Amino acid sequence: MNAISRDEVEKTLRQYTDPHYNLDPVSAGCVRTIDIHGDQVSVQLELGYPAALFKAGWSQTLQVGLENLPGVAAADVQVDCIVQSHQAQVAALPNVKNVIAVASGKGGVGKSTTAANLALALAREGARVGVLDADIYGPSQGIMLGIAEGTRPEVEGQRFIPLQAHGVQVMSMAFLTDDNTPMVWRGPMVSGALIQLITQTAWDNLDYLVVDMPPGTGDIQLTLAQKIPVAGAVIVTTPQDLALLDAKKGVEMFRKVNIPVLGVVENMAVHICSNCGHAEHLFGEGGGEKLAAQYEVDLLASLPLSMSIRSQADAGVPTVVAEPDGPVALIYQQTARKVGARIAALGAVATAMPSIVISDD
């Protein structure tokens, strides 16, 4: 019997594509060890994104593939998930590895709902997650995450202790003000208050801080983008032409401040009639896909226009928590893994980039 070689094991692994990296485990740099003892093969993989709901199935798929290799009697594939810090551009936030901005060019496209479900999905995948509601004029994360009106954060020294909801840490200007009092502030006041809120919140060892950005591309958005070390941005839109036009402005804004756009989430893509099952594209069709193609970014998800998504968020129990095994929640889980994988891949590229030193000699 011929001895099994490492090259044969790697060749087999290359036949399987990780759907989140869009690469095989070898090309994605996930292989940590390959041990071969006679007809026994043991492989250790390391994913750079949280994947608690995915890794068992992925391990089994690769194990079966290796056991089909001639000469292999048994294979064992161990998959670990380790999230690294990929903060760039500006000074790092303490106790936060990665900041994800969830943004839209206009309001009413489901940005806050997406931010809440993305955060909860990342947490279900095993990550430590925080949510910052940066939408000063229309904060909604407290309601969406089921935090009772009037709840206030504890203060420890000069820092706020974030509230807890469904296993994620949450902070919002709404927790410091009266819900019935509008924030009648000019842009610089809002920007200053937000930066202070972010930097004076005692986040507890987060893998990801999901920032629910205000809609638009004005002074507040630019200040946040320039002052916070954002690892990447998720753009939320609907298929409607007007929403897409504003979403393009959002993509352009992040590119101008050198923040990678991780992808596009298209909400209200299709309505399924609850009576007859008829599918109808009420706001147009394929808009998110066209936007993603135009800017060469990924369409992370295309979500239906669903009353349950809205009603569950209004009740303080977003879809990922309310129906964790439902089809919509599964889309959010896939989106969360893709977002984590994009950040990990961008971080790997940045680490591999050679440094350029310019001297006067």
Of residues 230, 220, 162, the one with CA closest to residue 193: 220
Supply φ then ψ for residue 174, to 5 degrees: -65, -25
Burial status of residue 110 (CB atoms within 10 A of its CB: 0-12, 13-18, 19 or more): buried
Residue 222 tokens read as 């630019």
CB 303 within 8 A of CB 272: no
3-state DSSP assignment of residue 46: strand
What angle do the packed helices 219-227 and 241-256 form, to 10 degrees?
40
Strands (E), the chain: 31-37, 40-47, 74-81, 96-103, 129-133, 154-156, 159-161, 163-165, 168-172, 206-212, 230-237, 261-266, 271-272, 279-280, 299-302
Q: Is residue 340 within a helix (H) or strand (E), and if so which, with residue range?
A: helix 327-352
C-alpha span between 53 and 124 (Å, rounded):
8
Binding residues for ATP: 105-112
- Binding-site positions: 105-112
